[in-house]
Structure 1
Amino acid sequence: MVHRRPSLLSCGVLAVTALALGACGSDSLSGSSGSSGSSSSAPATASADSALHDALPQSVQDSGVLRVGTNAEYAPNEFLEGSEIKGMDIDVMNAVAAKLGVEVEYSNASFDTLIIGVTSNRYDAAISSFTITDERKQQVNMVQYFNAGTQWVTAEGNPAGVDPDDACGKKVSVQAGTTQSEEDLPARQQACTDAGKPAIDVQVFDSQEDATAAVVSGRVDAMLADSPVAAYAVQQTGDALELAGDIYDAAPYGIVVPKEQTATADAISQALTQLAEEGGYEAALAGWGAQDGAVDSFPVNP
């Protein structure tokens, strides 16, 4: 599984029903390691660990700032509320930064530029629902911190009669660059045509907000997204949407760190381990109802 956005999207809005109005994003947003949290309950600030701080690149130690790239268009994982980047991933990263003894400066950028930004030293790290893959591990280090699967979503009552196991001929929306758009749906389309059935009419959108809005407006019959994103979309639209079928193809998310910065990756892994022991890790997930995706360990490049 790859966001589950695989390969090497603006201001997001919280109400999914308003997403069709479009978005406009800021290129760079700054926030302290404790300033970006959910409206429900931001995790408590972690106590800094001096040994982990000393494992960071000298430039980060000197500045006291960790430059982090993200694509804030994937609620509830990362999204814009006004000019502030919020979300589950942001709360996790803020807690990690507090444990490392630094603040976070977030840059909101297109998803497909984030890994390049890390490898070119524009960012010290990136967090944006990256599924850990062998291809990505060849380019960067990835620190496991969450587990997510894929979930189908339809309009309430499933009026188009979408069967996730046989969606041939149905109109389905998806965000560009996701594992769902680049792996899942193409395989399903091929299965449909191989069986002599009409292919799935895949509608690809640059942002998850627009993909969700297409279902709400009736432009498409269903959508695919990561399980926490799908559940949040249903929650935010009230009775407009519902989940369809079971979660499948669960895979871990990873924080992206430059390939040569193994000490930084190990420090982030150890920070997450300490946070899990202290309760800060689960608190970061609980603010978004994402505890089911919690992992028990935080390996580098699993």
Structure 2
Amino acid sequence: MRKTAAALTLLALLNGGAMAESVSLNGHSVSLEANQTPIHTAKNSQAIAQLPAGYRFAHPGQFTVAVAALNSPPLTVFSEDNKTLMGSEVDIARLVADSLGLQLNVVPTSWEDWPLGVASGKYDAAISNITVTKDRKARFDFATYRKDSLGFYVKASGPLHAITKAEDIAGLRIIVGSGTNQEAILLAWDQQNQAKGLKPFVPVYTKDDAAQTLALQAGRADAWFGPNVTGAWKAALTGKTRLVGSVDGGWPKAAHIAVTLKKAGGLAQPISTALNGVMANGDYDKVLSRWGENVERIDRSEINPAGLGD
């Protein structure tokens, strides 16, 4: 069986050279090979009717979506041409595009690129594991589609057994994405710790998944803190890392992942309606289940709910 080229490289790095056909996550067998087949849904006439009259998409007839090309399954992974992205984020984008009667146009981007691209109209939306936060709501609109759960993962043979509160990160070197809500949580915890006279934590910023894996396994970092579904994928695939704590993405409150849109651009309501449609017809569950993300399911999409910092 053929596998995606980039996925093979990633799986080999994570698994010490061995290849894996599938990963078992949350009671579901997740297969990169099988999941290349797109999941489509029907047009949603209600969502289409809610589009502003004469709305101009970035590309006529297309739903142009920025997706950070981080090669972090199950969220994103490159297909066999090393250009086309697949993963749960692309699947959600496709459900929205189909619901609106549009062709999906996925644009692989860097994490740093999507804010300006969405605000300028270069992209109609960003779907890239973006958490709703108070600060982001001042600049963007959101339509939620998944719970946000973050996990601390460490080297399986390492000495750490629990990271669940601020004091636990004192003095640790933690891999975290720059500009993410998980970084914001760590910085808030660190501020609390330093006020108590505890050692500061050291953020470790890496460029890609392979660098993160090598830093953790080589002992250059003590832990990785990021989307729990990504951490769970790696742990299930290799057995070389393990979960030592989880935190709601909106610490100390719950938070949600959302389709991110230009502020007051008119797309929040139709996209929320589209998401609620696929949640009702079962296609949303098909996407989450095949990527092992069913534990982060939500019952209904909301527009601009309370988030981190509210």
TM-score category, normalised to shorter length: 0.7 to 0.9
In the alignment, residue 135 of structure 1 is paired with which amino acid? D
SS at match of 2:243: strand
Aligned to 2:60: 63
Map 1:150-229 onto structure 2 (within 5 A).
Answer: 150-160=150-160, 163-165=163-165, 166-181=168-183, 183-229=184-230
Matched, 1:271 2:278: no
d(CA) in 1 for partners of 2:262, 2:198: 45
Deviations 1:164-192 (A, max 9, x none): 432322222112221222x2222333333
Task: Give how far 1:119 is off.
Answer: 1.4
TM-score by length of 1: 0.80
Q: Is the 8 A contact 1:285 1:294 kept in 2?
A: yes
Change (3 A) 1:246 1:119: closer
d(CA) in 1 for partners of 2:161, 2:73: 26
d(CA) in 1 for partners of 2:44, 2:160: 54
Change (3 A) 1:161 1:227: closer
Task: Give how far 1:128 is off.
Answer: 0.6
Aligned residues: CA RMSD: 2.6
Q: Is the 8 A contact 1:234 1:240 kept in 2?
A: yes
Structure 1: where are the runs of 5+ without partners? Answer: 1-10, 20-36
Aligned to 1:27: none
Q: Is the 8 A contact 1:192 1:200 kept in 2?
A: no
Deviations 1:218-270 (A, max 9, x none): 2211111122122122223x1211111234334101101222322x2211111
Change (3 A) 1:208 1:176: farther
Determine what percentage of the aligned residue pairs are the same residue: 24
Change (3 A) 1:153 1:63: same
d(CA) in 1 for partners of 2:91, 2:197: 47
Change (3 A) 1:138 1:189: closer
Map 1:1-302 onto structure 2 (within 5 A).
Answer: 13=7, 15=10, 18=13, 39-41=33-35, 42=37, 44-56=39-51, 58-60=55-57, 63-73=60-70, 74-81=72-79, 82-160=82-160, 163-165=163-165, 166-181=168-183, 183-236=184-237, 238-248=238-248, 249=251, 250-262=254-266, 264-302=267-305
In the alignment, residue 234 of structure 2 is paired with which amino acid? A
- Aligned pairs, how many? 272
Q: Is the 8 A contact 1:16 1:209 kept in 2?
A: no
Task: Give how far 1:13 is off.
Answer: 4.5
Task: Give how far 1:291 is off.
Answer: 0.6
Change (3 A) 1:63 1:139: same
d(CA) in 1 for partners of 2:7, 2:39: 25
Task: Give how far 1:17 is off.
Answer: 6.0
d(CA) in 2 for partners of 1:190, 1:146: 29
Structure 2: where are the runs of 5+ without partners? Answer: 15-30, 306-310
